[in-house]
Amino acid sequence: YGDASQKIDYVFKVVLIGDSAVGKSQILARFARNEFSLDSKATIGVEFQTRTLVIQHKSVKAQIWDTAGQERYRAVTSAYYRGAVGAMLVYDITKRQTFDHIPRWLEELRAHADRNIVIILIGNKTDLEDQRAVPTEDAKEFAQKEGLFFLETSALEATNVEDAFSTVLIEIFNIVN
Ligand code: GDP
Ligand code: MG
């Protein structure tokens, strides 16, 4: 698992979903450009960002799609999910409501996406531990019950962001190989 710049063996489309302001765009900025912004404006126009990695000597282009402020329930169109082989379902560990909405997002994802899609549940903003409203154990239990991978991240501190993407991409890679 590393960086590459030669020919592309695979392109994997991965979608980011979850409520507004949970940190989806900053997680993507951290992964794609190693950047973070505390006053990120709502995403406009940019459909996806890419980063090419090497997994088991093959170059894999990860094409990560970010919602352009369409986070309201049922506002994300089926085109967004089309062809996705991975999904990152993000909530904010300091906002209970964003975790309570996860079953809806999962339902929507399962209605639109391929049935073999690899899904990871992500609890973001672990740098705000003193404001935590969602116990790790609750999310772990939910993920286990639904058969999802699970990690807590901080886009701000760059904690587990790389791991979250590599978990999804390596699992997809193993499925197609
Ligand atoms: P999105 O609507 O889900 O795309 O959320 P954004 O990525 O735009 O982030 C919403 C707000 O949360 C912004 O002010 C970000 O700077 C902030 N944010 C995102 N990730 C983190 C994080 O890991 N820690 C902290 N403290 N703030 C974050
Ligand atoms: Mg955004």
How far is Cα of residue 44 from the mean position of the Cα atoms in its chain?
A: 18
Cα-to-centroid distance, 6 and ligand 2 (Å): 30
User: What is the rounded CA–CA span in Å between residue 23 and residue 121?
Assistant: 13
Establish whether residue 44 lines the binding site of ligand 1, counting it when its CB lies within 6 angstroms of any ligand atom. Answer: no
Establish whether residue 25 lines the binding site of ligand 1, counting it when its CB lies within 6 angstroms of any ligand atom. Answer: yes
Which helix H or strand E contains 104, and what residues bound it? helix 102-112
On whether the CB atoms of residues 120 and 164 are closer than 8 A, the answer is yes
For ligand 1, atom 16: residue with the closest CA: 38
Cα-to-centroid distance, 8 and ligand 1 (Å): 31
Q: Which one of 40, 43, 122, 157 would you pick to mutate in the ligand 1 pocket, going by the greatest count of ligand atoms within 8 A of its CB?
A: 40
User: Which ligand minimizes its atom distance to the CA of 130?
Assistant: 1
Render each residue's pLDDT in the chain as its tens digit; 177 residues: 666 556 999 999 999 999 999 999 999 999 999 999 887 665 555 579 999 999 999 999 999 999 876 676 566 778 899 999 999 999 999 999 999 999 999 999 999 999 999 999 999 999 999 999 999 999 999 999 999 999 999 999 999 999 999 999 999 999 999
Establish whether residue 24 lines the binding site of ligand 1, counting it when its CB lies within 6 angstroms of any ligand atom. Answer: yes
Q: Which residue has the tokens 């190693």?
A: 34
User: What is the rounded CA–CA span in Å between residue 135 and residue 150?
Assistant: 13
Establish whether residue 23 lines the binding site of ligand 1, counting it when its CB lies within 6 angstroms of any ligand atom. Answer: yes
